[in-house]
A and B are shown apart, each in its own frame.
Chain A
């Protein structure tokens, strides 16, 4: 999180406590920089809400640089407006984590991003950790995660697993027909011929190249 502290992050109150529009003016005085990042907390923002937020900030001469949010809706609306957005998940309670899993605790804290619904062309989700999509990823949409990508639906867009260099990451989909696959630093084009229906497949790195094979049932335990 060292990179985050260099820029000013502006955290909105929880949606249960206070309306963000009321909270905004109180925080203006804290601002020193011209570019800020906004943490939308648990607000679910539509494009219209985000536009309003951007306009409010622009009126006082501040540019919105990046959005952090706890809700996928906010991330999707932000990326459709062309603002870079990142999902933050509440950290799972570290005390509960088992002692024997100590070496994988770094991964545990990353958490899983769950997105329900179809990702359409131009939409993008990005997450530090694993991503699970319940729905299709249409051509032109992009999913990228530092961990694994699992799609309960058809992957027809672009998926990036292991962003940041994790070569053991994999991409699993009920129908794997991507435009492009990326795992860690490897890039591959999707298969030209359409695979058979009803066969879940996974993509992973074997001997330095991305290969596609029928999904392996014990793949996620490693």
Chain B
């Protein structure tokens, strides 16, 4: 295994908080910075990562065929159409759910580690076998959550499980932050969440409608060079992951500057 490869698990416990969106955007953003990145879709029962990356129709093989030696790893890897540093590998076939074991996961990840600088594992929701398989090969983890008590509770549970597996460091990404709701105390604040979870914050991602648009198009926000708030946040997460020191955005100041107001005005459809 290449010694410098970082194998990062992206997990949340709860479903629908943005694991796959983060994996796709982070994968693209890292690839744009010139590092070779592989994204492994361990959520193969309900696989979506290929949809978000717009690669659904290019999948031929999965990790299953690679391990059964019916194809080579390069054949199974789906290179991204515009970002040549990024490759996708689905961990399995949606019709054969229980074939993957932790050993298989470790084998496929060590194969990927020889070719890539980063391996991002998109973990399924839940804390059952799917999660355990996905976590079995990871070295570090990013836990993503939203400022809701259910998501925070599930993230806490997952962090407890990760702690028993010698996965370090575990970092936190807080998704779908709405500065206005935090200001009016209708939403858990960033401090409320970090207070409970007690993890270093890798980044905040602002709530952004553009995320839905980009998901439906199969073009992650970071790919299109969009100037939308979420795209900026994802870019920052990727740069911090690379070791750059970028200050976190302050939700209380977000959307207050004249430029933001002007941008919002321009985005409003008058007719």
Contact = CB atoms under 8 A, between A and B. Distances in A.
Interface of A: 46-48, 76-77, 80, 118-123, 136, 138-140, 156
B164 A76 contact: yes
A118 B154 CA distance: 15
A123 B196 contact: no
B173 to A, nearest CB: 18
Given A121-B154, A138-B196, A140-B153, A47 B165 contact: yes
Interface stretch (B84-92, B115-123, B155-163): B155-163
B198 interface: yes
B156 A47 contact: no
B164 A120 contact: no
B165 A120 contact: no
Interface residues of B, number: 15
Given A138-B196, A139-B196, A156-B196, A121 B164 contact: no
Contacts of A120: 156-157, 159-160, 163
Contacts of B149: 139
B31 to A, nearest CB: 32
A140 B157 contact: yes
B166 interface: yes
A121 B150 CA distance: 11
Contacts of B160: 80, 119-123
A47 B159 contact: no
Contacts of A118: 198
A9 to B, nearest CB: 24
Main secondary structure of the interface of A (DSSP, over half): loop
21 contacts: A46-B165, A46-B166, A47-B161, A47-B164, A47-B165, A48-B165, A76-B164, A77-B164, A80-B161, A119-B160, A120-B159, A120-B163, A122-B157, A122-B160, A122-B161, A138-B156, A139-B149, A139-B153, A139-B156, A139-B196, A140-B153
Nearest to A73: B164
A119 B163 CA distance: 11
B270 to A, nearest CB: 45
Interface in B4-43: none
A95 B136 CA distance: 48
B158 to A, nearest CB: 9
Contacts of A48: 165
A139 B150 CA distance: 11
Interface string B72-95: 000000000000000000000000
B99 to A, nearest CB: 18
Nearest to B163: A120
Contact of A140 (B127, B156, B164): B156
Given A47-B161, A136-B198, A139-B156, 5 more contacts: A80-B161, A119-B160, A120-B160, A121-B156, A139-B149
Contacts of A77: 164
B198 to A, nearest CB: 6
A47 B129 CA distance: 13
